[in-house]
Chains A and B, each alone.
Chain A
Amino acid sequence: MTIQTSLAPAAPVRPKTAPKMVGDKVNVFYGAKQALFDVDLEIGENRVTSLIGPSGCGKSTFLRCLNRMNDTIESCRVSGSILLDGEDVYDRSIDVVELRARVGMVFQKPNPFPKSIYENVAYGPKIHGMARSKADLDEIVTSSIRRAGLWEEVKDRLQEPGTGLSGGQQQRLCIARAIATKPEVLLMDEPCSALDPIATAIIEELIDELRENFTIVIVTHSMQQAARVSQKTAFFHLGKLIEEGATSDIFTNPKNKQTQDYITGRIG
């Protein structure tokens, strides 16, 4: 009998380090309706974690807990704890504005400010007082746009409105804007759902590059996208975390039947 080695995992095995973020018994209520039930989830540093599940399963709700975006919804109540480097982000001492600078977000629909490309990216560093001089600010804007893979396309028209770019370029501009404040964690809520396949491929390539410097959490409806970009996948259903694990395992050999049914298209 020839020896058969099992499939090599997609991501190299990393030494076990403390997770960047930890959700511990997270419950979320919108008024009387409970949206999340006792979710425990660790977000590994410099890794891409994808959250998948049918609409209304709570994956976006969980994502929005990570930088307290849910605070903006009046009826929303969160219990349990969300730790960022061991510190509870829901602690009274936490400055929410500062938290959101550390945990940036990119949304489903590209939403550039109705300002110039330059101003879009410069806005965050300005309000957080990250630049001492115009030269400093220029440097931050340039490097952010470069890292977002947009530089070659916009370097000659930084003063033109950001809204004049194509959808894919706008989304990369939003990513540049999000990373300009030097966040540690980048949350992405279906960042490619409004983009064509080429623009999607560019963003996915970018996610892979950004992983070196950022911890990324992505919500996606595309199973293939989760399989392509992430190292860890968490499956949510009806507000519960059903299964989490290495992406390569989840998509070839999920342990849970509900996960199996969802990723193979047997429950919606």
Chain B
Amino acid sequence: MPTSHNEHIVTSYEDELTALAASISEMGGQVEAAVADATRALLKLDHAAAKQIIAHDKQIDEMHRTIDDMAVSMIARRQPMARDLRAIITSIHVAGDLERVGDMAKTISRRTLQIEGLSLTPKFYNGVKHMSDLILRQLKAALDAYATRDATAAVEVCNADDEIDALYTSLFRELLTYMMEDPRNITQCTHLLFCSKSLERVGDHATNIAEAAFYLDTGRQMSESAGDLHRIQIKE
């Protein structure tokens, strides 16, 4: 009887599935790096690095298109079923989310280029840095859950999203306080606020990827009951 990790009878199909998974991993790695670099460039106001990230986004978009093409071609030619079908469908979703995350890195970098003639104060940007660390951890965990088809890890990622939302809310309040304290802080705090919003959205995409991982592993959609999943609304 076949054991686990059976290969497909048609070798070229197996190769295509492997290549698709590898492409997602590669795109995931590039996008993670883009977010990390974008945050670093922002905090250091490194314009050269920011420009590089913006230029690199074209490559991320290109990977997205390639993955879409691979998936569509496989659906048309192989009529995938069950696990293979789920792997291909979720790859389309995940690549879409990663492309959006890449855009967020680009947005942060564009903002970095707009900030001129002032240096950011660590007091102000520490919250953003902390948030960025947390987001990157989430993104990595989501991509790992997807690559290893681990539903349990995927649920953990979704549950941790609340933490990010809470962090964003507190960061929002904190930056608002600095602005009220001294109107001269408004410019840099507003920039940081927009960037933290972009980061928060990266977290949402990480959640989407985790949901795709859950579906890939179990064949079921992650429902409300899968965990205490609710989004904290920003009331202010």
Chain A contacts to B: CB under 8 angstroms: 1, 3-7, 223-224, 227, 251-254, 257-261, 263-268
Contacts and interface: CB of A to CB of B under 8 A. Distances in A.
A5 B2 CA distance: 34
B77 to A, nearest CB: 13
Nearest to A224: B79
Contacts of A252: 81-82, 85-86, 219
Interface of B: 1-2, 4, 6-10, 13, 79-86, 158, 161, 207, 211, 218-224, 229-231
Contacts of A259: 82
26 contacts: A1-B224, A1-B230, A1-B231, A3-B223, A4-B211, A4-B223, A5-B221, A251-B85, A252-B82, A253-B218, A253-B219, A254-B82, A257-B2, A259-B82, A260-B83, A261-B2, A261-B6, A263-B81, A264-B81, A264-B84, A265-B9, A265-B10, A265-B13, A265-B81, A266-B6, A267-B2
B7 A266 contact: yes
Nearest to B79: A224
Given A258-B2, A266-B9, A253 B224 contact: no
- State the main secondary structure of chain A at its contact with B: loop
A252 B224 CA distance: 21
A259 to B, nearest CB: 8
A264 B84 CA distance: 7
A252 B221 CA distance: 12
A253 B220 contact: yes
Contacts of A258: 1-2
A43 B103 CA distance: 53
Contacts of A268: 9
B236 to A, nearest CB: 21
Given A252-B82, A253-B220, A265-B13, 16 more contacts: A4-B221, A4-B223, A5-B221, A223-B81, A252-B85, A253-B82, A253-B86, A261-B6, A264-B80, A264-B84, A265-B81, A266-B7, A266-B9, A267-B2, A267-B6, A268-B9
